[in-house]
Every structure is written in C-alpha cells, then in structure tokens.
C-alpha cells in the first residue's frame, strides 16, 4: 500500500482580504452645490439693425428717429440741427443728400473739406441753373432755428469743421465753414482771431470738451472749459456759441448717457455764468451710434455719417474726430 506524499497535498490558499473601503465624508448642502458646474453667463449684445438699402430711406429713418428723440425731450425735430458727415461719403451720395434738401454738412479733415466744398459748389451752381432741380431741393427736412437760418429756397450749404483743427491749417477753412466745433485751446482761438481780423469777419465756434475722460480724445478738460470760454469771449472776431463733446464708443448707447449729462450740465453752467456775450445756444453731441441718447439729454446738434451713407469701406475712426465719423 502506497503512502501518500505529504508534499502532494495542496495547502489551502489564504483568502486575500481587500483593504477596507474608505467612506467619503458626507458633503454638506453648500459643498454639494459648490461642486456643480456653473453655466457660463450669456452675453446679450444689442441686435444689429440692418440699414435700409437706399440713401433716401436711410435719411427718412434718421429723420423719424430724430423727431422721436426730440419729442421725448420736450422738443421738435425743427429744434435739432443734423450734420451729415461726408468723410466717407461718395460724391454721388453727397449730391443725393443735397437733392433731398439737406444743407448742413461736416468734415473732419481740412483737405477733404476743401475738395468736398468745391464739388458741392459746382453741383449747386448747376442746380440753380435748372428750375426743376432747384424746386426739388427747396425744402430742407432739417432746419435749425438759430441766427444762421435762411430762406430755404436760397439755402446755401453750411459747412461744419468737426475734426481737430491745427493752427497751420486754420487759414484754409475760415472762408468755407459756418461753424467750427473743435476749438479746445487758447492758441487755436488766437489764431482764428488773427485770421478773422484780417478778413474783417466774425467766426462762430464751439469749445470741444473731453467729457469722457479718455486720454486719446481731443478736447479741453472739464474744469478748463469755462475759463477758456471767458478768454475767447474777450476776442472781437471769434464768438463762442456753445460746446461740443463726444462719448466713448459703446455697443450699448445707454452707456454714453453719463457723458452727455455731464456736458449738458457744463453747457447750462456756461450759459448762466455770463462770461460770454451773445447767444450761447448750440450743444453739439451725439453720432450715429448714440445720437438719440444725446438728443434726449439736451443736444440740439448731432453729427451723423454711416446712418446716412452706409458703413465706410475704409477702417472707421471716430465719427466726428478720428485723432486729427464715421
């Protein structure tokens, strides 16, 4: 009888114990909430409104919006002077807006102003020679109840210099412009005084004020505006008619309201100060993106480019002052 080999017996394997499972500490309600993913905030941008196809339609749309904004501020469209900024307008567009009866045009740069003024003069001379065309242009949609108002049937174009004016270029524009919006230093005012004195005429100007506080913007600081007006008020041939400002560019027009409120308050302070003789009655503020807010806050002069002439083909600068509308 064969003996069993003790080595042949298979020893029972010891059970391998898994390490004890650690219990996760219970999360408080606040901690559970904190671990949930927070959805990214949805940025709602103002809807982009497509401009009408034709200039005549765009002109009528601006006219309606100006009237509505004026009504909200207790005024009428006739109280608002609208300047069509021709910086990026094609020659045929300028001729068309003249045919619609518009007479207040604005330019940023001296050389462009000289060229546009020559083209407009030639066009108007042809219009005067054609009775039918003259009649079509007789009734301007926008008028301004100021001292420069003339009979609509004989209305000449009123050019506005709305860009930064350098002293060495001032003499090129004083014979062309009805109103200079961008006087922001005593030096440029003195240069205009000397030029106007030689020509025995009076120049109407606005003091440009930097009410937005942006370093890259032209315009005198707010505290300097009334002292500057007082200094210009002592001049014989330069007359301060009011203030001009521009707000910082903003997607939401409401963001510009505070700037316009500050300029209107300064305008009222200037009028009540008595430092300037004669009428101080022009407050120029507001462009294509924000002119309705500006009118609501007291502007009676707005500068509009692309809302009339469409988006420019070239890169846009500031509508009325690109560092030298749109």
pTM for the predicted model, two decimal places: 0.76
Total domains present in the chain: 1
Give the pLDDT score at 51: 75
Q: Is residue 259 in a domain?
A: yes
The residue written with tokens 């930097």 in the block is 210
Instruction: Give the span between the Cα atoms of 164 and 299, in whole angstroms.
Output: 20
Angstrom distances, CA of residue 30 to CA of 25, 33, 35, 39, 41: 14, 5, 9, 18, 21
Q: Is residue 78 in a domain?
A: yes
- Its sign, for the CA torsion 234, 144, 258, 316, is negative
Residue pLDDT tens, the chain, 326 long: 444 454 444 444 444 454 455 554 444 444 443 344 444 544 444 555 677 789 999 999 999 999 999 999 999 999 999 999 999 999 999 999 999 999 999 999 999 999 999 999 888 888 777 765 444 433 333 344 333 333 333 468 999 999 999 888 898 888 899 999 999 999 999 999 999 999 999 999 999 999 998 888 899 999 999 999 999 999 999 999 999 999 999 999 999 999 999 999 999 999 999 999 889 999 999 999 999 999 999 999 999 999 999 887 654 444 444 433 44
CB-CB contact of 207 with 244 (8 Å): yes
Give the pLDDT score at 168: 86
The DSSP line for 39-105 is PPPPP-PPPPPPPPSSHHHHHHHHHHHHHHHHHHTT--GGG-EEEEE-TT--HHHHHHHHHTT--EE
Q: Is residue 12 in a domain?
A: no
- 3-state DSSP: the chain helix, strand, coil percent, rounded to 5? 40, 15, 45
The residue written with tokens 């054609």 in the block is 130
Q: Is residue 244 in a domain?
A: yes
Give the pLDDT score at 155: 66
CB-CB contact of 289 with 69 (8 Å): no
Give the pLDDT score at 263: 98
Q: Which domain holds residue 279?
A: 55-309
Q: Residue 183 is part of a domain; what is its CATH number?
A: 3.20.20.10
Give the pLDDT score at 131: 61
Instruction: Give the span between the Cα atoms of 299 and 266, in whole angstroms.
Output: 12
């Amino acid at each position: 009888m064969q003996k069993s080999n003790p080595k042949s017996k298979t020893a029972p394997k010891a059970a391998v114990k898994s390490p004890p499972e650690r219990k996760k500490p219970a999360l408080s309600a606040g901690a559970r909430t904190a671990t949930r993913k927070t959805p990214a905030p949805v940025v709602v941008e103002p809807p982009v409104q497509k401009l009408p196809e034709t200039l005549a339609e765009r002109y009528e749309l601006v006219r309606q919006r100006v009237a509505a904004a004026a009504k909200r501020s207790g005024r009428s469209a006739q109280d608002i002077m609208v300047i069509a900024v021709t910086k990026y307008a094609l020659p045929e567009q300028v001729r068309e807006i003249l045919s619609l009866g518009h007479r207040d045009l604005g330019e940023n740069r001296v050389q462009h102003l000289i060229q546009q003024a020559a083209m407009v003069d030639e066009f108007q001379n042809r219009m005067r020679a054609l009775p039918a065309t003259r009649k079509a242009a007789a009734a301007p949609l926008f008028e301004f109840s100021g001292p420069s108002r003339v009979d609509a049937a004989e209305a000449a174009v009123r050019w506005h210099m709305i860009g930064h004016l350098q002293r060495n270029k001032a003499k090129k524009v004083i014979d062309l412009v009805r109103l200079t919006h961008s006087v922001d230093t005593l030096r440029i005012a003195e240069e205009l005084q000397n030029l106007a004195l030689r020509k025995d005429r009076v120049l109407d100007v606005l003091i440009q004020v930097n009410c937005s506080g942006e370093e890259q913007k032209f315009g005198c600081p707010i505290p300097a505006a009334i002292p500057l007006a007082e200094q210009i008020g002592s001049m014989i041939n330069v007359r301060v008619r009011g203030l001009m400002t521009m707000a910082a560019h903003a997607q939401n027009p409401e963001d510009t309201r505070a700037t316009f409120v500050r300029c209107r308050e300064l305008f009222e302070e200037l009028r009540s100060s008595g430092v300037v003789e004669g009428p101080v009655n022009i407050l120029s503020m507001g462009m294509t993106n924000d002119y309705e807010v500006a009118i609501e806050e007291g502007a009676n002069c707005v500068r509009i480019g692309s809302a009339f002439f469409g988006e420019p083909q070239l890169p846009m600068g500031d509508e009325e002052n690109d560092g030298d509308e749109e």
